[in-house]
Structure 1
Amino acid sequence: MFLRVLGLYASAFLVCAVALERTLCLLKPVWARLRRPTWAVPVACSLMWLVAAALSAPYLKFGYLLNHGGSFHCLESKDFIMGLFVLETTVGFLIPLLVFLGSNLAVVLTIKRAVPLTPTSSAPSMARKMTRMYHVLFVTMFLFLTCWVPYFVCRFIEAIVKEGNLLYRLKYAKYICLFMVYVKSALNPVLYVFAARGLGRAIKASLVSTIERLFNDDSFESIRRKSIKNSQM
């Protein structure tokens, strides 16, 4: 059970990390590509696994084995199930959901500013590729909701139902929902491969825009200084 919950937390945190990394590359392209320390990514990944392990540690104490018809089931203690449910829902779902949706919204708005939505005579294919990028982002958000929400609905019912045949049947539904979560985690790399080209072009456009803005600001500042110097003479 500890490994199962550890995988859930780690999967949620990694999804958030990928979303934040994608947003960072778009919003701060110069810093993300040139100035970011090389140790930042390994340290962030290590911290995510440490936090996931710490949040999963209570299952080592409050889990127990139940012998049902000769087969053993690893379950969590009923006295602590509500606390575990609140912790899982808040840290393992609600916070990652807000981070994931917020990051994708920032990506969409940034791409919308960098690349026109409708095809033009100069770049008809670019708009189509960006449209594909929007579709991939929508699919990732849709899969996140459809694969994670059923699991936490089962957890909620399990937390309020103390005993009965429903509780026994719910365990099979929870395993199916858990399988959907794992399938979603396996599909993430495939979706990001399809999005890589469009995202790469958006990052390049954002990087070029940032560099041009920096040069324009430097040129304006240089002209302003020369004007002040000439006026003083």
Structure 2
Amino acid sequence: MFPPPPAQGTMDQDITTFPPTTEANSSQTPATVKATHLASAVLLFATFLVGLVGNGLYLWVLGLKMRRTVTTLWFLHVVSCYFLFTLMIPFFAVYVLLGFHWAFGTAMCKLLNTCISLGMFSSVFLLTLISLDRYVLTHHPVWFRRHRTLPRARKLVVGVWLVSFALSAPYLAFRETRVVDGGRIVCINNYDVSSNWKGTEMPGLERRVHLAIFVVQFLLGFLLPFCTIVACYSRVGLKMKEKKLAWARKPFKVMLAAVASFFLSWLPYHLYQGVKLYRKEVPESVSGTLLIIYTFTSCFNACFTPIIYLFMGEKFWQVFRMSLLTLVKAAFVDDLGGSVPESSV
């Protein structure tokens, strides 16, 4: 997910940020590139600090200071996904500072990218579960009261993490380090699995593997969850309108903020992955622009979404009149529907 500069041959390249100076990019002076890398790294480190504090605060409050309910369980794990992603940022900031030289070894190359993919899949699956939860609450309240329990919710959460890990496992297989020009080491995807398969070349197998992974990621990590979430919240909105219920309840706004921030942040990533399938036909400027956009939007999603939760939970001017603990609790009070209690056992 997060890796190096454009490379040669059949290896698929994921670039974390701005590419370093090469013969094809000789219009930039080394001083300019160095300044760009430094600015990018500073921004990444600043984002890391904000995410560490913000997500850490939410984990502390949701995990230790609030009564455990199904809703707080959902969001505890959503924030855990963001926190996991946040912890990866310093490695790639150092990667940029070193001129896209990977100094952490092959094992960390595989592990870090697997963790990022794990966080991406887990967060979107959890947001989908939350939308289904809201749908069942408004359309099947009797079933909701009888069957929505913490033990069942915990099983669903465990299932989400296991499925997400299975979908992220290809990074353990295909991620590798490679020595390139000047002894620089890069962390890349290499889908060329067919070179010596039964001693026979299989033209196009690498591209088919790459395409299969992209399709699975796009369908399961973006398109199908997006359609599910839109359908659920559309039905919830119609039901609330039919019953003349208030639309802007705090939990509903928090959920919409989480969904909107996720999809706006990860859409550039999937567009970039799709463009890489046709890297020979697409100008490098287009793929480079998408790369920059997805790098910073994904970091924004992981690190600044908790702040959005606070501002969605209370009006802006009230933020400075309340304690942080009260704000966080207020953002997650489950009063959607008003009369349905949370199951806590």
TM-score, reference length from structure 2: 0.47
User: Does the Cα contact within 8 Å between 1:82 and 1:159 map onto a contact in 2?
Assistant: yes
Matched to 1:91, the amino acid is: L
Match of 1:230 in 2: none
Residue 50 of structure 1, CA deviation: 0.8
Matched to 2:131, the amino acid is: A
CA shift in 2, pair 1:144/1:70, >3 Å: same
Match of 2:169 in 1: 57
- The answer to whether the aligner puts 1:27 opposite 2:139 as a matched pair is yes
- The answer to whether the aligner puts 1:104 opposite 2:233 as a matched pair is yes
Residue 115 of structure 1, CA deviation: 2.1
Name the CA distance, whole Å, in 2 between partners of 1:150 and 1:170.
Answer: 6
Name the CA distance, whole Å, in 2 between partners of 1:157 and 1:135.
Answer: 33
Match of 2:186 in 1: 73
Which of residues 295, 313, 317 is equivalent to 1:175? Answer: 295
Unaligned runs of 5+ in 2: 1-112, 192-205, 314-327, 341-345
CA shift in 2, pair 1:77/1:172, >3 Å: farther
Match of 1:228 in 2: none
- The answer to whether the aligner puts 1:148 opposite 2:283 as a matched pair is no
Which of residues 16, 20, 23 is equivalent to 2:128? Answer: 16
CA shift in 2, pair 1:101/1:144, >3 Å: farther
- After superposition, give the CA deviation of every residue in 1:81-115 in whole Å (9 maximum; x if it has no partner): 32221111011000110111111112111211222
- The answer to whether the aligner puts 1:158 opposite 2:276 as a matched pair is yes
Unaligned runs of 5+ in 1: 117-126, 208-233
Matched to 1:23, the amino acid is: Y
Residue 29 of structure 1, CA deviation: 2.4
Structure having the larger proportion of residues in helix: 1
Match of 2:219 in 1: 90
CA shift in 2, pair 1:195/1:113, >3 Å: farther
Name the CA distance, whole Å, in 1 between partners of 2:260 and 2:289.
Answer: 27
User: Does the Cα contact within 8 Å between 2:131 and 2:232 map onto a contact in 1?
Assistant: yes
Name the CA distance, whole Å, in 2 between partners of 1:101 and 1:88.
Answer: 19
Name the CA distance, whole Å, in 2 between partners of 1:72 and 1:91.
Answer: 32
Name the CA distance, whole Å, in 1 between partners of 2:331 and 2:211.
Answer: 39
Match of 1:223 in 2: none
Residue 3 of structure 1, CA deviation: 0.9
User: Does the Cα contact within 8 Å between 1:24 and 1:32 map onto a contact in 2?
Assistant: yes
Alignment length (residue pairs): 193
Q: Once superposed, what is the RMSD of the aligned Cα atoms? A: 3.3
Matched to 1:93, the amino acid is: F
User: Does the Cα contact within 8 Å between 2:268 and 2:290 map onto a contact in 1?
Assistant: no
Residue 157 of structure 1, CA deviation: 1.4
- The answer to whether the aligner puts 1:113 opposite 2:113 as a matched pair is no
**Based on CA coordinates, which of the two structures has the bigger radius of gyration?**
1
Name the CA distance, whole Å, in 2 between partners of 1:20 and 1:27.
Answer: 10
User: Does the Cα contact within 8 Å between 2:254 and 2:309 map onto a contact in 1?
Assistant: no
TM-score, reference length from structure 1: 0.67
